[in-house]
Structure 1
Amino acid sequence: PLPATLLNGAHPFADGAMHHHAADRWGAQITHAGEMWNYAAGFPHPFPHFEGHGLSTIPCKSALWLNHRGERIGPEPLVTGFDTHWLCQQVASQEKPWTWHLLNWRIAAKEFAISGAEHNQRIRDMQFPAFLKETLLGNHRLVKQMAAESKHFLVDDTLAGLAAKMNALAGTNDVRPAVLQATADTFDANFANGAKLHNDDQIRRILHARQWGPDKLRTCAPAPLQKPGAGPYIAIQMQLITRKSLGGLRTDLHSRVLDGADQPIAGLYCVGEAAGFGGGGASGKRSLEGTFLPGCILTARAAARSITGS
């Protein structure tokens, strides 16, 4: 279902008008421009640059994804990094236009991230020693910044106190402290008898993800949410946020731009995101994160081979 509101994850100036103008100038086609790539976990920018400005998070795999009442969404748990399109569908179908991420400081320091240069200064300013330190020891700086700046990023030493803050932000009494406590207790029960009795799909996915080195660096080893010393608790109010279009200039398998009659325009090639990752909309509605870079590489290789005749 179409939500009543979406946060803006890109500047309103990025409306596609320049692309259509350029395409018309050369007689090219833009196709699948309406195939939006959205994210399920955004929250309002504390200091918005434009109306509806949202921050697109890279959601923590270890966070519990809850509905407006503080109940875990299921039966299949929502876990980032597997199927973003499906995550958006699940969030859009919720009774209220927001969800909650429930986590603790231990998880946030290792896993929480925000997309874009503004909140990734270590990468933006090429501060590689500091980036490595935060990757290994946790990005406490970003967590503290959001806790101080964003009213949608709530921190409390107790789950009951957190429930009160969640209700105050939403302007409701939807989150009962006992329900939030039961949600945490039910998840933590997975660890009561050791790893041999883990029976939770989120834990299984995390264990699988951690088999790959880069994911292991940025994903906590599964542990109880109420693990001593892992607090305080954090709740982040999340909303759907726009990001980009999956469409682009229509091309053939040689990355040549096609005109209105689907004939190649002499000497004009298009690769990567501008080509919709290949032909306009090649990634489809269920595109996964990993399809973006390979699409850029494959279309560029096709263009190079066509240009050089190799």
Structure 2
Amino acid sequence: VASGGIGANFDLIRKNWPARLGTPPKNMVSGVPAYVDGRMLEITEHAGGRIVNRDRMWHYTEGLKNWDPIWPNHGIRILPGPSSLWFDAEGNRFGAPNFPGFDTLSTLEAIQKTGYDYSWFILTEKIIEKEFALSGSEQNPDLTNKSISDVLKRVLPGAPGPIQAFKNHGEDFVIANDLKELVEGMNKLAGNDLLDFIKIKEQILARDREMDNKFTKDLQVNAIHGARNYVGDKFVRVAKPHKILDPKNWPLIAVRLNILTRKTLGGLQTNLNGAVLGIDGQPIRGLFAAGEVSGFGGGGVHGYRALEGTFVGGCLFSGRQVGRYLAKGQ
């Protein structure tokens, strides 16, 4: 069994949603194709396999509705730099460690405990030019085409092509030439009046004042300066610190962020050879599992949390273990 997790089965995600992460999202976007529906997990369980750690999931908080979808309810994740201001649905700025690109699970918990299943970035044109990247091979043609010249274009002024396409066509984007207009557009997009212009303005002004203080106590501003101490981030990933309400950095941009489903960290429990274990802890003859369906190995090799870039490794390693074992004729 190598059928993946449950990321496209929203009902199953809600059923297994842990109470510690708040209310299950009513609305989500799918970060995986429709066939990643958990069906083979259910079939294998009926065959005697044991599923463990059902409540361990790794979903993202920065999901966009894909304006050019490949599968149903297709979502794309923003890979953000540290400078965008992050607000909940009622316009309250998130505090540490819930900054862009920091602690995914902590931010997911914070969002869901607000009672709403979306949040907002507020940023400037200068921030989006440098700090927004998108997940997915089709969103990174310079990398997938192995074009050095196209990769180098990322340091040029202007948003990368895929980002600009979302600005032009994506339904989650609001672009305005002043903050009042921006907040009005955000409320219109959300279909409510939860966001108060004065409340948003005061929080942004408080952050902007810290641009004049090199001994800032704003932890997010500190993180921006810290990131720019690394030369690679300074030149290609983190925008030069600036005031969001300074018109020379406009237009202003708001992005509605949806919960984007992705990884299943639990799954079929296996031994070190990938043999699926039954309720009694013994291998089921002729039944093996590899990859996400077995929690990337064993039924949850990552534990409760995970590290970016480690998922494919678990798939490859667990698959190799099964292949080697079967190749020995055992």
> Structure 1 residues 278 and 136 mapped into 2: Cα distance closer, same or farther (>3 Å)?
farther
Q: Distance in 1 between matches of 2:81 and 2:59?
A: 17
Task: Select the residue among 101, 104, 108 that pairs with 1:81.
Answer: 101
Q: Which residue of 1 aligns with 2:39?
A: 17
Q: Which residue of 2 aligns with 1:96?
A: 116
SS of equivalent to 2:249: coil
Q: Is the 8 A contact 1:91 1:240 kept in 2?
A: no
Q: Distance in 2 between matches of 1:56 and 1:107?
A: 17
Q: CA deviation at 1:80?
A: 3.0
Q: Distance in 1 between matches of 2:51 and 2:158?
A: 43
Q: Which residue of 1 aligns with 2:221?
A: 203
Q: Which residue of 2 aligns with 1:259?
A: 277
Q: Which residue of 1 aligns with 2:248?
A: 229
Q: CA deviation at 1:276?
A: 2.0
Q: Which residue of 1 aligns with 2:12?
A: none
Q: CA deviation at 1:301?
A: 8.8
Q: Is the 8 A contact 1:255 1:278 kept in 2?
A: no
Give 1:105-124 correspondences, 5 Å limit. Answer: 105-124=125-144
Q: Distance in 2 between matches of 1:224 and 1:40?
A: 25
Q: Distance in 1 between matches of 2:52 and 2:230?
A: 36
Q: Distance in 2 between matches of 1:222 and 1:303?
A: 50
Matched, 1:8 2:68: no
Q: Distance in 2 between matches of 1:263 and 1:278?
A: 17
Task: Select the residue among 13, 28, 36 that pairs with 2:57.
Answer: 36
In the alignment, residue 12 of structure 1 is paired with which amino acid? A
Give 1:27-66 correspondences, 5 Å limit. Answer: 29-49=50-70, 51-66=72-87
In the alignment, residue 278 of structure 1 is paired with which amino acid? G
Give 1:107-186 correspondences, 5 Å limit. Answer: 107-135=127-155, 137=157, 139-186=159-206
- Calculate the TM-score normalised by the size of structure 1: 0.81
Q: CA deviation at 1:153?
A: 0.6
Task: Select the residue among 242, 263, 272 that pairs with 2:261.
Answer: 242
> Structure 1 residues 250 and 133 mapped into 2: Cα distance closer, same or farther (>3 Å)?
same
Matched, 1:278 2:297: yes
Q: Distance in 2 between matches of 1:297 and 1:203?
A: 39
Gaps of 5+ in 1: none
SS of equivalent to 2:174: strand
Identity %: 32
Q: CA deviation at 1:147?
A: 1.6
Q: Which has the larger displacement, 94-103 or 84-93?
A: 94-103
Q: Distance in 1 between matches of 2:45 and 2:158?
A: 45
Q: Distance in 1 between matches of 2:155 and 2:285?
A: 47
* Superposition CA RMSD, Å: 3.4
Q: Which residue of 2 aligns with 1:289?
A: 308
Q: Distance in 2 between matches of 1:119 and 1:68?
A: 27
Q: CA deviation at 1:167?
A: 1.8
Q: CA deviation at 1:293?
A: 5.6
Counting matched residue pairs gives 304
Q: Distance in 1 between matches of 2:320 and 2:290?
A: 9
Q: Which has the larger displacement, 237-246 or 259-268?
A: 259-268
Q: Which residue of 2 aligns with 1:68?
A: 89
Q: Distance in 1 between matches of 2:327 and 2:35?
A: 36
> Structure 1 residues 175 and 78 mapped into 2: Cα distance closer, same or farther (>3 Å)?
same
SS of equivalent to 2:296: coil
Q: CA deviation at 1:236?
A: 0.4
Q: CA deviation at 1:14?
A: 1.0
SS of equivalent to 2:30: coil
> Structure 1 residues 66 and 77 mapped into 2: Cα distance closer, same or farther (>3 Å)?
farther
SS of equivalent to 2:261: strand
- Calculate the TM-score normalised by the size of structure 2: 0.77
Q: Is the 8 A contact 2:83 2:239 kept in 1?
A: yes
